Amino acid sequence: MGGAAHKAELFDQLARVGKALGSGKRLELLDLLAQGPRSVTDLAAAAGLGVTTTSAHLQTLKQAGLVTTGREGTTIRYRLADTDVAVLYAQLRTVAAAHLPDVDAARRNYLGAEDIEQIGRDELLRRAEAGEALVLDVRPASEYAAGHIPGAVSIPIDELPGRLAELPHDVEIVAYCRGAYCVFAHDAVRVLTAQGRRAVRLADGMLEWRLAEQPVVSGATGAA
């Protein structure tokens, strides 16, 4: 038992997870899979990658035990291996943001200025239950169907400008998307407020909602 060689082997095995996480695109794929199972084709389109490149990244994640596959008819779908993978991804973001100033600069460049009013999960629930707000899911419809906040209405961000008439004028709108680093909710609030609507965003998103063990429902219903 013990010995330098066995110790080295142990740490090399642990490093397989770190190596798999050592790619921005693979982290983006984990972010997408945190919303629900996806095919290679869907993931490639969402991540702006070629199918071959996406498949190679997914194989790296699978070999590290971070994702698994399952067949639905003729389609192979990838999914996170377990909730602890989502926890690991979320914690990686937290550590990076706390210790790397460049993360904050990159976040501001991507999400824009901090001019979007936000509320937390408890306040969202309070306003929704009191009938003071309509909860708007602006992720792609497939992600909404995979799991969403109960009572949320689905209007994907790219459809929002053309579907504003479907939303009531007399209630505040709380928009949410994938997670704390998702730009869709920011863009939705900008679109809504530019049209004179009262709108705020959820401070984080579906990833954090799930990890907080808040209620989630699935299905494609939820039109405004």
Contact (Cβ atoms closer than 8 angstroms) between residue 188 and residue 153: no
Nearest-5° angle of CA 44, CA 209, CA 131?
A: 120
Backbone angles phi, psi at 66, to 5 degrees: -90, -25
Q: Which of 177, 185, 199, 202 is catalytic?
A: 177
Contacts with 162 (C-beta within 8 Å, 6 or more apart), sequence order: none
Backbone angles phi, psi at 134, to 5 degrees: -105, 130
**CA–CA separation, 199 and 184 (whole Å):** 13
135, amino acid identity:
V
Nearest-5° angle of CA 152, CA 157, CA 160?
A: 85
177 as an active site residue: the answer is yes
Residues with catalytic function: 177
